[in-house]
Amino acid sequence: MLISEQIVPGEKIYYLNLILQAKNTEQWDLKRYRIAFNRNGIQKIETFE
């Protein structure tokens, strides 16, 4: 039985979830972002409300 190996090119994507909390006088504000990046830099920034 012959087993062959094949290299499949792929791209690794990393995700960073960023949550910012800010206070404006008496009100708290939360912002959530998901940053997708790889070794070449930031690929996408998603915002969630």
How sure is the predictor about 41, in pLDDT bands with cuts at 50, 70 and 90? very high
Distance (Å, whole) CA 30 – CA 46: 15
CA dihedral 6, 40, 48, 28 (to 10 degrees): 140
Over range 35-40, report the average pLDDT: 96
How sure is the predictor about 33, in pLDDT bands with cuts at 50, 70 and 90? very high
CA 30 to chain centre: 18
According to the model, what pLDDT value does residue 49 have?
Answer: 76
Over range 20-37, report the average pLDDT: 92
Give the pair of three-digit tokens for residue 42. 């930031």
Distance (Å, whole) CA 16 – CA 3: 38
pTM metric for this prediction: 0.68
Give the pair of three-digit tokens for residue 33. 């972002």
Over range 14-41, report the average pLDDT: 94
